[in-house]
Amino acid sequence: MEEKNKISVVIPLYNEEESLLELHKTLKKVLENMNCNYEVLFIDDGSTDKSWEKIKEIRKENPFVRGIKLRKNYGKSSALDIGFRHSGGDIIITMDADLQDDPQEIPELVSIINSGYDLVSGWKKIRYDPFIKKYTSRFFNLVTSKISGIRLHDFNCGLKAYRKEVIDSIRVYGELHRYIPALAHIQGFKVTEKVVKHHPRKYGKTKFGASRFVKGFFDLLTVLFTTRFIRRPLHLFGTLGLISFILGTGITIYLTVLKFLYGEYLTNRPLFLVGILFIILGVQLFSIGLIGEMITKSLNTEEDILIKEITE
Ligand code: UDP
Ligand code: MG
């Protein structure tokens, strides 16, 4: 007989008092129909409203609910990370607390994981968000797809399912939660997506302002640096350095030819300085890359490679 899944549902929340009771009610119904063991972890990310009281109330009624309160508002990524560290399931579901994600999707997500995937990311194909967010989000998804090499339509969907191994090897902080599927893919996990139902926000308002775009961009750089290039800094800096060096050398050779063939002065041409600038920049970038290589080598980090051994 197949072993029962143990499912942990991790729900980060910040000031969502109106939604919690309703969310728990539908969630409980879905989970109880699934013939599995489950726990629900509400991670209160420093709410200042009555959210924590609501969670205590829910826990009284349902012992499979756990509540964790962060000392202050650390952000969704940190809340998720804490949830991951405290969850005991072999399959972990994350969802938002604002009733925008639909618990009815959970059984299907779990069955996709059981069919052999490590991460299933929700895709809000029809989404109920403000116009501007829809379009910036589309741009963000396109860029992230290109850079990470995995084609997903909706990286930032709150509703996702993970096999335990994935959350064990990924840490999120800052605004990195948007990139979990990209990080997982880069580490060699099997990632896919599933179209999910999305609802308009019923109570309260969104917790992310315009700063989400700037922070999101910096986090993309972090993802690039800490995954693609961390073991081979020279590949990045060396390439940039080489391009710059070649450009600079080209310019100076061109100017030198002008001088000797046509007797033009070098010193009264701004291009002269640009050429020198590119050469110096090139050498510097190259050196940074080399230093990076030395650091990587002396740290002698054991590669975080996913390995499996036959155990039975
Ligand atoms: N959230 C959180 N900490 C924060 C901001 C948001 O735990 O600092 C939670 C929030 O309560 C919700 C989820 O993250 O459960 C998604 O946030 P929101 O609905 O505001 O984002 P949007 O749907 O607008 O992307
Ligand atoms: Mg929302």
- Domain assignment present for 88: yes
Dump pLDDT digits (tens) for 171-206. 888 778 988 999 899 888 999 999 999 999 999 988
What tokens does 245 get? 């060096």
Separate counts of helices (H) and strands (E) for the chain: 10, 7
Are residues 78 and 196 located together in one domain of the fold?
yes
What percent of the chain is predicted at pLDDT more than 90? 66
- Domain assignment present for 1: no
- pLDDT of res. 149: 85
Dump pLDDT digits (tens) for 110-148. 999 999 999 999 999 998 888 888 888 888 898 888 888
| Ligand 1 neighbour 207 (Cβ under 6 A) | yes
- pLDDT of res. 305: 59
Give the atom of ligand 1 at the shortest distance from the alpha carbon of 205: 20
Give the atom of ligand 1 at the shortest distance from the alpha carbon of 43: 7
Are residues 104 and 180 located together in one domain of the fold?
yes
Average pLDDT, integer, range 41-52: 96
| Ligand index nearest the alpha carbon of residue 20 | 1
Give the atom of ligand 1 at the shortest distance from the alpha carbon of 12: 7
- pLDDT of res. 113: 97
- pLDDT of res. 16: 96
Average pLDDT, integer, range 265-270: 85
Are residues 134 and 265 located together in one domain of the fold?
no
Are residues 49 and 122 located together in one domain of the fold?
yes
1 pLDDT above the threshold of 70: no
Domain that holds residue 161: 6-228
235 pLDDT above the threshold of 60: yes
Q: Read off the pTM.
A: 0.82
Are residues 258 and 279 located together in one domain of the fold?
yes
Are residues 241 and 223 located together in one domain of the fold?
no
Residue pair 42/66 in contact (Cβ under 8 Å)? The answer is yes
- pLDDT of res. 301: 56
Count the domains in the chain: 2
Query: Which of residues 208 and 261 earns the better pLDDT score?
Result: 261
| Ligand 1 neighbour 16 (Cβ under 6 A) | yes
Query: Which residue's CA is minimally distant from atom 8 of ligand 1?
Result: 75
- pLDDT of res. 307: 65
The full length of the chain comes to: 312
Are residues 207 and 69 located together in one domain of the fold?
yes
214: domain CATH number is 3.90.550.10
Sheet holding 119-123, edge to edge: 65-69, 37-44, 6-13, 91-94, 160-163, 119-123, 191-195
Give the domain-ending residue among 188, 207, 228: 228
Are residues 257 and 124 located together in one domain of the fold?
no
CA neighbor of 113 nearest in space, from 22, 17, 6, 29: 6
Dump pLDDT digits (tens) for 206-230. 888 777 778 777 877 777 777 677 7
Mean pLDDT for all residues in the chain: 90
- pLDDT of res. 193: 96
